[in-house]
Amino acid sequence: MRDRSRTVLHVSPDVGLAESRTQALTAIGCEVFSVQTVVAALFEVSLGRCGVLVLCHKLDHSARCTLAEYFQQNCPEPYIVAVLAHAEDHWPPQAHARVIYSKDHGALVKVMRQRLAVA
């Protein structure tokens, strides 16, 4: 059985951003599965792709809330990270962590390292 704490489902409509986040998270030992749409993410969760859900700041609020709720309901020990465009950006109430977007993904990597340390 794979280590769910290291399994990341990343949802972003931006392919370039998804690739750079995947590189950053893979470098710290995560297994990243990246999808571009809500439908694709729901499908991955239905297949058991659980662990950590990373929601891109480029998803609209409704999409982030839908995914967070579905992930929370269907995954054992879910952990949800919402990447925000700015400090006042909306996030799903199910999010366990919120980080402000940065090009170097430093805040996201920091949160994920903390999560891996306690998992």
The tens digit of pLDDT for each residue in 16-55 reads: 999 999 999 999 999 999 999 999 999 999 998 899 999 9
Dihedral angle sign, alpha carbons of residues 34, 35, 41, 44 = negative
Q: In the structure encoding, which two tokens stand for residue 11, read together?
A: 């949802």
Q: In the structure encoding, which two tokens stand for residue 6, read together?
A: 């290291």
Residue 93 to residue 105: CA distance in whole angstroms: 22
Question: The whole model's pTM is what?
Answer: 0.94
The tens digit of pLDDT for each residue in 49-76 reads: 899 999 999 999 999 999 999 999 999 9
Write down the domain spans for the chain: 4-118
**Architecture field, domain 4-118:** 3-Layer(aba) Sandwich (3.40)
